[in-house]
Structure 1
Amino acid sequence: MYSSCLSKWRKFHRVESRRTAVDLLKVYAEKFVRRRTLNDDYRGYNSAFQKALNAGVDINAYCKRSRSVMVPKVRGEIVYGTYPVFEALKANRRRIYKLFAKGLCIDASPLAYEELCDNDIVKGKIFPYLDNVLDPGNIGAIIRSCFYFGIDGVILARDQGPKTLTSAMSKASAGALERFPVYTVEDFPSLRKRLRNVGFKFIATSDENSAITKGYQSPIRLPDFRPISDKVVIFLGDERRGIATDILGQCDYIVQIPTPSMECADCSIRSLNVSVSAAILLYHFLAKK
């Protein structure tokens, strides 16, 4: 199934690369989905129709013929986008049920979290730990950076992250999620001892105001920080509340990415997006090794 789907995908994309995006939208809207009745104003409901109309494509005749659009009948979940689909087919971690829209979408089984075993911990050097980071765009972007830098995996606690890995994360990761391990653990206390036993140091990220508010000293500026261990866990929190206080208290170091702009001190923009922070931190720790 895998090789057949991959060959179909490549064949379709040799042909479809010569077609415009509008053509593909029209093909998807008219041919590759199952019928379902919608409101009279369904053109505003369906983004493929709306984008085609905005681009000046004459599909009004089609709209007048039918007051329904077609919705795919899916066994698993829809993985969409050129790179996520291609990487999903190459990685062969999913069961592929069907290709849609000339290989731009596939109906496939969901990806599952992996359990963090002792062998993974012993071999690992750098693990980002995501504390209550829920946005699929941010998670996907972090995974993309981790894959690019050759990081060992991302860790999430079961009750402090998304319930499942989603196709939106795969899309945001440009397909890196299809090839990259995302581990779940019961909670931070259960993980802490396992990591400490093999020499991991814990590094938290925080801006100065948040750290002081939570009762900690000013963070170390990242350019001045020199890691004393080759094995580190980098904790990243959500952008609203940051890293949980109970986790922050267990960290060996708290670091911040300084800004050269004085204007940030007088406005609400005092931190970077969590995925941007992750990329900078990963590069810094790899460069210092």
Structure 2
Amino acid sequence: MANIVNGQHADDGPGLGIAMTGGPSFGKTATSVGFARLYERQIRDEFPAAFEQENEFIPVCYSSLVRGAGLKSQMEHILNFYGLPTARRATGTQLVDELIRVLNACRTGILCLDQAQNLHSGDKRDDQVAAALKEVMDGSHATLILVGIDIDSTGPLAIAAQGRLQASNDRLQLARRFTWLRMQKVDKDSQEWRDLLVSVENQLVLANAKQGDISVGLADEVWKRSKGAIGVAFNMLRSAANAAIADGSERITKRTLLKVPLTIEAAPTKKKAA
């Protein structure tokens, strides 16, 4: 992901993007937000003076898209991140142009749109959204990250299996610009699982925590309760951390973890009565 974002500023070719898809609770939001946070920290370390002297330097824009909204409403929602009022009579196309202007003015390097499945609103409107996203990618230096459930099968990035979409179609051209990341459940004994838990340990701030509490001591228990779903594991550990702060222990133990209610994805399936 970092190579794609950094390469966006290296040439004047067509804008590139990252599409992160998969089932619910697979950790798409946690992964994308974590990456965006690391990117912003990197920019802050490289250009500290810019943040002190300017109030319009915004390296990352994050917006969770709204269900059932058209192009105009989605653009208004994204622009709201910048605190920018929009004209009531502005069209969707005009707001696309305004977004490009703001992205460039604020030197935004990542435009992350979560809940991207909400961009789907029917074939013709999907074509309109695809054309708008292409304009944003070409008109700004921001890398577009789309995060959503099964966005490869519905919405502006979907390509019809029947082949009715021609090479000149905006949707096909748009889809080809994206690097696809398909999130899946993680195996219990994999290095990826251990690395994820180490990452969580480093993010949680607990006064009495020790390195390895989660990534070693609780790795199997967290996997058992989350069934390898990254999003479920992240939310579970965040709730456990809040509980540890509330009870004053400031450390996640198995007892703390067992107090966290299971989500519907992680709850054991009830056996049917004979």
Same-fold call, TM > 0.5? no
Larger RCO: 1 or 2 (CA < 8 Å, sep 6+): 2
Larger radius of gyration: 1
Greater strand content:
1
